[in-house]
Amino acid sequence: MTETPGSGLAERLAEVADEMDGVTRRTAGDAVEYLLNGVLFAVAHADRAELRLKPDIADAALRTPDVRPSPRGGGWVELAPRDVDAFAIDRAESWFESAARLAAAH
């Protein structure tokens, strides 16, 4: 079943963050920012997510539907799925975990 745009994406990322050690969050307007060791690595909005990825992963992500460069700069991608289906959730989870690993390395 396909969900409406935005439904489930931010909620699922919050659940993933809850399962990870050391991840903190803060509210920034209508978004939730995720940090690890004080390093910002993801931002969840109602209908999209921004994630800071290793350059090679970011390059691959940019070849994926519904992904574009984030205005946050190099290494950041923005996932804005038209349909928040199982595939979009899976990509978001995977990239969220990858972004957290990158933040942990800093």
pLDDT at 6: 41
In 3D space, the residue among 11, 101, 3, 103 whose CA is nearest the CA of residue 49 turns out to be 11
pTM (predicted TM-score): 0.90
**Domain-wise residue ranges, the chain:** 9-104
pLDDT at 7: 53
Class of domain 9-104: alpha beta
What single-letter amino acid sits at 100?
Answer: A
Q: Tens digit of pLDDT for each residue in 7-48?
A: 589 999 999 999 999 999 999 999 999 999 999 999 999 889
In the chain, the largest separation of any two C-alpha atoms, in whole Å, equals 39
Please report, rounded to a whole number, the percentage of residues in the chain having pLDDT higher than 70. Answer: 93
- As a whole number, mean pLDDT of residues 79-106 equals 95
What single-letter amino acid sits at 38?
Answer: G
pLDDT at 106: 84
Token code pair at residue 5: 């745009």
Position of tokens 């978001």? 92
- As a whole number, mean pLDDT of residues 87-102 equals 96
